Every structure is written in structure tokens, then in C-alpha cells.
Amino acid sequence: MTLIEEMEKMVEKAPHIPLSGKVFLDGDLLLDYLDRLRTALPEEVRQAQWIRQERERLLEEARLKARSLLEEAEKRSEIMAQENELVRKARSQASEIINRARNVAEEVKAGALSYADGLLAKLEASLNQALAQVQQGRQELQSYPAAGAGEAAAAGEPEKDSSQNRR
């Protein structure tokens, strides 16, 4: 039985004062119960206070942890959103750069092909002109030795080898 229950029984068994609702109690016995209550209550009160403080500490710790986790998640979310935006922009810029590079490469290639074709056309014209001059020179040479061979035979000179004439 607890101290409080013992005190209740003491009050119930105590003699009553008629028409007043009051009782006669043994003062020494009451003081003994109060001393026992004082010694027992502080320990229980301390335990209850410790439990309450521990509960408050744990709740505050949980709130702080939850707040910290929430802030961390928000930061990560923001960083990921920024990274995704950066990646999207970087890919877009890379695509634009690649397209511009391809266009420039096509223009350079077309310009190089046109330049090379122009050079080859000039070379072809020069070579055709040189070939025409060579052909004309050969025709002149071919007609010249025949006329020269007749004069040489008439003069009594032997005809020279055409390979020696070329030197």
C-alpha cells in the first residue's frame, strides 16, 4: 500500500467531530506520514522531472534533426535543379556550337573545293595552252626536218639522228 492510501485510511478511521465534517488526528502520526511522504516524493518528483526534461530534450532534438534534414533536402533539391538547368543549358550550347562548327566546316570545305577547282581549272587551261604550244611546236618540227632532210641530201650531208637534234 502507498503512503497516500495509508493516510486516507488514517483519516477515515479517525474520530469525527459531530456536525462539522472535521476529524481528530494524531499529530505525531500525521507528521510521520508527512516526513515519509517528503522523502518519497522528491525522488518521484525528480524522476518525473527528469522524464519530462528528457522527453523535451528528445522532442527538441527530433525537431532540430527534422529541420536539418528538411533544409538539407531543400538544398540538395535546389542544387539538383540548378545542376539540371546547367546541364540542359550546357547541352543546348554544345549543340549550338556543334551545329555552328558543322556549318563553318561545310563552308570551309565548299570554299576549299571551289578554290581547288579554280586552281585545277587554271592549271588545266595552262596545261592545255602548253600542250597546244607543244603540239604546234612538234608540227613545226615535223614539217621542218622533212624540208631540212631534202636540203641535206641535196647538199650531201647525211641525215642526223632526230634524238641528237633534240639536245
- H/E stretch holding 94 reads helix 27-155
Q: Consecutive 10-residue runs of the chain (167 residues): their mean pLDDT?
A: 82 87 87 83 78 90 92 88 85 92 92 91 90 89 65 51 46
Q: Which residues make Cβ contacts (< 8 Å) with residue 158, sequence separation at least 6? A: 152
| Structure confidence at residue 101 (pLDDT) | 92
Cell (9 digits) for 56: 523535451
Judge contact between 61 and 68, C-beta under 8 A: no
Q: Which grid coordinates are listed for 150?
A: 631534202
Is residue 165 within 8 A of residue 145, CB to CB? The reply is: yes
Phi-psi region of 156 (alpha: psi -120 to 50; beta: other; left: phi over 0): left
Q: Whole-angstrom Cα distance, residue 59 to residue 51? A: 12
pLDDT value at position 165?
47
36 CB contacts (<8 Å, ≥6 apart)?
3
> Which pLDDT value is given to residue 7?
86
Residue 163 confidence (pLDDT): 45
Whole-number Å distance between alpha carbons of 69 and 65:
6
| HSE (side-chain half, CA atoms, 13 Å) at 151 | 5
